[in-house]
C-alpha cells in the first residue's frame, strides 16, 4: 500500500508509547505487523527520556527518539513545577521530529511522550491512531481523543471516554512470539534451569514489579516448596536487589523476562497483575491464572479487567487486602483440582482476540490510503 498518490513512495510511521511494558509492547507489535506488510517502510519510535522504552525499543530493532517529558505528580513537587517547561520542550522537539521524518501516520499507545507527539502530528493533518489498552482510559489518550482519526479499544463501553464514531473494538496487541514460538516445554524449562517433573508457577508483577505480590511470594516460598512447585518469579527491576537472595535450584528470580514465550510455555500456573496487556496475553496463552489486581490504578480498572474473566469462570482472583486470609485456600483449590485447571485454561482461551494487532493495522492502512 502507498498513500494513493505515488505508488513508489516508501511509507513512514511514527509510534509512541512508553513508561511501562503495557504501552511499549503493543507499539512494538503494531510496528512488527506494519513491517511484515510493508517491508520497505521506515519506522521511528518516540518515547520519554530515561524510561524503559529507550532500552526496549532498540532491543526490538527500531530507532527511538526521546522527549524530555514526565507526568504530573499528585502533590506539589519540583517535578510539577518543571512540567510546563518539559511540555514546551517536548512540543518543540516533537515538531522537529515530525518535520524531519514526515510520517504518513502516527500511532500512540499511551504514555507521556505520545501526548506532545500526537498533538503536533494531528495539528498538521497527519492521520493519527490511538490504541487504548485499558477498560478505563488513560489521561494522555483522553486529552487526545478529539484530535485523532481512530481509537482502537479492547473493552466495550469506551464511549464513556471517547467519541463513539471514532471507536473500533480490536482487542489489545500481543507479542507475536507468544503464539509462534516456545512450544517445546522441555526447551523452555531448560532455558530457566528447571525440572521437567515438577509443576511450574510463573509469577508476573509487571515490568517494574509489584511490591505486595513480591512480599506474598517471599512469604509463601515454603508453602510452594511443600506443594512441590518450582517458580519463575519476575519481581521487577525495582525489587530485584531485594529478592535475588531467594534465587535457588527451584526458584528463579528475575528482574525482567526477555523470553516471555519460554516463560509462558514452561508454566503450569500463573499469578499476575491484571493490566490490560497482561490479560490479553494470558487469554492467548490459555493457562490457569490467579489475578492479584493492583489497587493503585485509576478507577480500580485492574479489578474490572480481572472480574471480566472471573465472571466467565476463566480465571480466579484475590484482592490485595484479602491475600493474608484467602491466598492459600484459593490457590490450593486450583492446584488440587485438575478439572478446575482444565476449565480455567479452556475458558480463558475462549476470550482471546488473537487478531488484534492485524485489526489495528487494518485501521492504520485505511487512513493512509485515504
Which residue numbers belong to the known binding site?
A: 20-22, 134, 175, 207, 302
Nine-digit cell string for 176:
507475536
Burial classification of residue 246, based on how many CB atoms lie within 10 Å of its CB (0-12 exposed, 13-18 middle, 19 or more buried): middle
**Rounded distance, CA 31 to CA 105, Å?**
12
| Residues annotated in a binding site for UDP-N-acetyl-alpha-D-glucosamine | 20-22, 134, 175, 207, 302
User: Which residue(s) pair with 30 in the sheet?
Assistant: none
**Rounded distance, CA 27 to CA 113, Å?**
13
Nine-digit cell string for 27:
507499539
Nine-digit cell string for 112:
507521556
DSSP string of 30-85? HHHHHHHH-TT-EEEEEEETTSTHHHHHHHTT--EEEE---PPPSS--HHHHHHHH
Nine-digit cell string for 219:
512469604
Could you tell me which residues come within 8 angstroms of residue 150 by beta carbon, excluding any fewer than 6 positions away? Answer: 129, 130, 166, 168, 363, 367
Neighbours of 318 (CB within 10 A): 21
**Rounded distance, CA 341 to CA 339, Å?**
5
Residues 41, 63: contact at Cβ < 8 Å?
no
Contacts 24+ apart (CB under 8 A), 252-259: 252/192, 252/193, 252/194, 255/209, 256/207, 257/204, 257/232, 258/59, 259/182, 259/191
Nearest to 15 by CA among 122, 86, 117: 117
Amino acid at each position: 500500500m502507498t498513500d494513493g498518490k505515488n505508488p513508489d513512495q516508501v511509507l513512514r510511521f511514527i509510534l509512541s508509547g512508553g513508561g511501562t511494558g503495557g504501552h511499549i509492547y503493543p507499539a512494538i507489535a503494531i510496528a512488527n505487523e506494519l513491517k511484515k506488510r510493508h517491508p520497505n517502510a521506515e519506522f521511528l519510535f518516540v518515547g520519554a527520556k530515561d524510561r524503559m522504552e529507550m532500552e526496549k525499543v532498540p532491543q526490538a530493532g527500531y530507532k527511538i527518539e526521546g522527549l524530555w517529558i514526565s507526568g504530573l505528580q499528585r502533590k506539589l513537587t519540583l517535578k510539577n513545577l518543571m512540567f510546563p517547561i518539559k511540555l514546551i520542550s517536548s512540543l518543540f522537539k516533537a515538531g522537529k521530529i515530525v518535520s524531519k521524518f514526515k510520517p504518513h501516520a502516527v500511532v500512540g499507545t499511551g504514555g507521556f511522550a505520545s501526548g506532545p507527539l500526537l498533538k503536533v502530528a494531528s495539528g498538521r493533518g497527519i492521520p493519527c491512531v490511538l490504541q487504548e489498552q485499558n477498560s478505563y482510559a488513560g489521561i494522555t489518550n483522553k486529552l487526545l481523543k478529539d484530535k485523532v482519526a481512530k481509537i482502537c479499544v479492547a473493552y466495550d463501553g469506551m464511549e464513556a471516554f471517547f467519541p463513539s464514531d471514532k471507536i473500533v473494538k480490536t482487542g489489545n496487541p500481543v507479542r507475536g512470539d507468544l503464539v509462534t514460538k516456545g512450544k517445546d516445554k522441555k526447551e523452555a524449562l531448560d532455558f530457566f534451569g528447571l525440572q521437567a517433573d515438577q509443576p511450574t508457577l510463573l509469577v508476573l508483577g509487571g515490568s517494574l514489579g509489584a511490591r505486595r505480590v513480591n512480599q506474598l511470594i517471599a512469604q509463601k516460598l515454603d508453602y510452594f516448596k511443600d506443594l512441590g512447585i518450582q517458580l519463575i518469579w519476575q519481581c521487577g527491576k525495582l525489587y530485584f536487589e531485594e529478592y535475588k537472595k531467594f534465587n535457588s535450584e527451584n526458584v528463579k528470580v528475575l528482574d525482567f523476562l526477555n523470553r516471555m514465550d519460554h516463560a509462558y510455555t514452561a508454566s503450569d500456573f500463573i499469578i499476575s497483575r491484571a493490566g490490560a496487556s497482561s490479560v490479553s496475553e494470558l487469554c492467548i496463552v490459555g493457562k490457569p491464572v490467579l489475578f492479584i489486581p493492583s489497587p493503585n490504578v485509576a478507577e480500580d480498572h485492574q479489578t474490572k479487567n480481572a472480574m471480566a474473566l472471573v465472571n466467565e469462570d476463566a480465571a480466579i482472583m484475590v484482592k490485595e487486602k484479602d491475600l493474608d486470609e484467602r491466598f492459600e485456600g484459593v490457590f490450593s483449590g486450583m492446584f488440587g483440582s485438575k478439572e478446575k485447571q482444565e476449565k480455567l485454561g479452556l475458558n480463558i482461551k475462549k476470550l482471546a482476540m488473537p487478531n488484534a494487532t492485524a485489526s489495528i493495522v487494518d485501521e492504520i492502512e485505511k487512513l493512509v490510503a485515504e
